[in-house]
Structure 1
Amino acid sequence: MTFTDLELAAKKKRTRREIFLTEMDQVMPWAQLEAVIDPVYPKPGNGRRPYPLSAMLRVYCLQHWYSLSDPAMEESLYEIASMRQFAGLSLDAIPDETTLLNFRHLLEKHQLTHALFTAIHQHLCDKGLMLKQGTIVDATLIHAPSSTKNAQGERDPDMHQTKKGNQWYFGMKAHIGVDAQSGLVHHVAGTPANVADVTMVDQLLHGEEIDVFGDAGFAGVHKRAEHQSRAVRWWIAMRPGQRKALTDSADDRQ
């Protein structure tokens, strides 16, 4: 145990970050996740000794949970003791931003991010945290630089522009299926930003739902051919332009 560990243990008040990281340390299936990556992770040899896989995986998770870039993650590990403790790192052995980038590229190269998500999802199902009776479908825009001032002189070909309200956006869209009871995500799909939300619903359902909930962007989903055989109840919000002031009439109360 380091002096930092002793200081954290002696604190009278625990921060929300410390509480969250303690919970994640206990509930995440770390052994299963490491087993997914281990076959392709560098082994000690003649070159520089790699950081422990457990540490790199935990840092990777920290980046996602706190939306940190590689440089910001490196600085946070130096500055925030609770993050270092969670990752099992010490001040004299902090991975730099290039190491963090290379680890992410390793996962992308071997297409392991989906396997990691699947392992977490299965773990939640095994623990009975996914009730599967209802799914909330949603989508969010993820901004990408629209400038062409780069080495290729062009925008990212996988990104696209779309209009939401009166504003234009350039980037991609993350489509998610969420367990209505627990709030846990069970399906994720990424597309260019101009892909309509309603066209992705088929990839966000696990097939055991009784109810499906969505905002007005999913209007008409029940009419699509891919859902005609689904025995579900669709709860889709009405488009703003179709709403009217509610009255006390029986029709409006239904």
Structure 2
Amino acid sequence: MQENIRWINLCTKKEDSDVSISCLIVDDEPLAVQLLESHVAQVPFLSLAGCAYHAIEALTFLEKQPVDLIFLDINLPHLSGMQLKELLPIDQKVIFTTAYSDFAVESYDKNAVDYLLKPVTYERFLKAVLKVKKVEPTSKVNIHLDSIFVKSGKDFIRVRLNDILYIEGLKDYVVVVTSTERIITYKRLKDLEQSLPNQFSRVHLSYIVNHEKIYKVVDNQIVIGGAQIPLSEKYREGFLQKVYKELL
């Protein structure tokens, strides 16, 4: 228990207050709302924008004031939290709250950040919100992975990193392209970019390429596996710096 308290204190140190995450509590139980309000108040990087007691009130609030994160009760009157999630923007970050564990699998299928069982303890609450905290890395970490899992529909597909040619962004989806298949997954290119090792580079608003698969670079085109990937001005300098490091 003592280690848990020490861990919580370390995670809420003062410098975290520089990061601000606005949030909305949506719950029809006043006591549950009060508990979440208390938890939010104890986290320096959270800012409570408001509370709503049913789905329509939440939608009305969000039209006027979008937030970074929603604590969303599943068992709401008239329109459930699961149904409300379907009406929200695809990239809206949601942490579901409920008194029932039966919804856990469905909540993650809805691309929720986390799933909290009531009564929500502060320690569990903090672990959930730390997943949302936005920390911009000063440089990309060199991740030593041979393969990753890509979620496509209900399937989890293992893909070797060295088999990936490039990744194309399509709004809120990305297509992972190998020499043998194209895997579509529900994820933003920006989010995926941060989790890839240094052999991958963003070269365009819609493309990430695997350096080890590049055949040649011609003007503003990168040729990989028969495909021509555009190289935009925004990413050109950083990309060419990597190329020059391998130049004979």
Q: What TM-score comes out, normalization by structure 1 length? A: 0.29
Q: RCO greater where, 1 or 2, for CA within 8 Å and sep 6 or more?
A: 1
Larger CA Rg, structure 1 vs 2: 1
Q: What TM-score comes out, normalization by structure 2 length? A: 0.29
Higher helix proportion (structure 1 or 2): 1
